[in-house]
Each structure stands twice: as structure tokens, then as C-alpha cells.
Structure 1
Amino acid sequence: MRSLITVIGKDKIGIIYEVTSVLKESNVNVLDITQTLLDGFFTMIMLADLSKLNMDFSELKTKLDNLGSELNVSIRIQQEALFNSMHTI
């Protein structure tokens, strides 16, 4: 199972480290990543492989939600199949 993870918020040191640390602890492999700064705002999109996830998807989502609150950024995770079906006409 693959998922898309987005992170958006004011730029600060350590955002990538903190997010990828949660993914590593959850046994999630980052397949692709893009990040940029837009007028002081950090934006990142990751494609992640959750096939070896060591917890329920909902637990990972909660961990990322909590991390987003700690870092004061928005972190969203969505399963690729759901994303694709939402964007198919």
C-alpha cells in the first residue's frame, strides 16, 4: 500500500527530520520526496510505501497529526488508491 503525505507550514529547522523519524519508527519507506519554500512557507509531498507498516494506518495518521500539532504545521496522509479515485473523472 502506498500513501501520499503532505506537510505545509511556516519554515523551521527540523521538519523533514521529525516527519521522517516518525515514518522510520513506523517502518515506512519514503519512495519519493519533493519539498520547496514558498515565501517562507515550507511545503513537502512524499510518496511512501506502507507495505511493511508496523501499526494500523489510523495509528500512523494519529502520530502524524500529533507531530503536526507539535511543529505547528499541517501533516496529511492519504492512501494512494483513495487519492487516485478522488482525482479520476
Structure 2
Amino acid sequence: MHAIITTTGHDRVGIIAGVANAAAERGLNIVDVSQTLMDEYFTMIMRVELPSGQDGGVDMGALQDHLASAGEALGVVVRIQSEDLFTAMNEI
């Protein structure tokens, strides 16, 4: 299963490293990443593979809390959602 992590906020040193480390702490494998800087505003989208739990599921709420805490420490907003939900919300 895949998920999409979005990160937004004012640019500063260490955002990519901080979000990537938080993802790695939860066993997420980054398979694609895109980031851009518009003036001083940083945006990043990561596509990640979710680890398969022993019960076959992943606690997305716990992942969101973990990534949000990492983002808070970095001064950015970090969100995660399933790839299917992300795709459905962004289709025209």
C-alpha cells in the first residue's frame, strides 16, 4: 500500500531530512519525492510504501500524529493520507 505525505511551510534548513527521518522511524520507504520553493514557501510531496503490519493494516492516525509532531518541530505542516484518497481528492 502507498501513501502520500505533503509538507508545507516557510523554508528552512533540514526540512527534507527531518521529514525523511520521521518517515524512516515508522518504516516508510520513500519511492518518489518532489519539492519546490516559491519565494520563501516550501512544498514537498512524497510517495511512500507503507509497511505491512502483522494484522495487514497500518494505523494511519498514529502515522499522522508522528509526522505532524516532526513537522511541528521543523515549523512546517506535514500530512499523510492513503494514495487512493489523495488521488480521489485531486481528480478533476
TM-score category (smaller protein): 0.7 to 0.9
1:52 deviation in Å? 3.9
Pairs aligned (count) = 89
In the TM superposition, what is the alpha-carbon distance from 1:24 to its structure 2 partner? 0.9
* 1:14 corresponds to 2:14: yes
Alpha-carbon separation, structure 1, partners of 2:72 and 2:3: 20
Q: Judge which range, 67-76 or 39-48, deviates more.
A: 67-76
Q: Structure 2, unaligned stretches of length 5 or more? A: none
Structure-1 residue corresponding to 2:37: 37
Q: TM-score, normalised by structure 2?
A: 0.84
The alignment partner of 1:27 has SS state of coil
Cα distance in 1, alignment partners of residues 84 and 24 from structure 2: 22
Matches within 5 A, 1:1-89: 1-52=1-52, 56-88=59-91
CA drift of 1:53 comes to 6.2
Give the deviation of 1:81 after TM superposition.
1.4
TM-score scaled by length of structure 1: 0.87
Runs of 4+ in 1 over 3 A off after TM superposition: 51-55
Gap regions ≥5 residues in structure 1? none
Contact 1:65 1:75 in 2 (8 A): yes
Q: 1:5, 1:46 within 8 Å by CA — same for their partners in 2?
A: yes
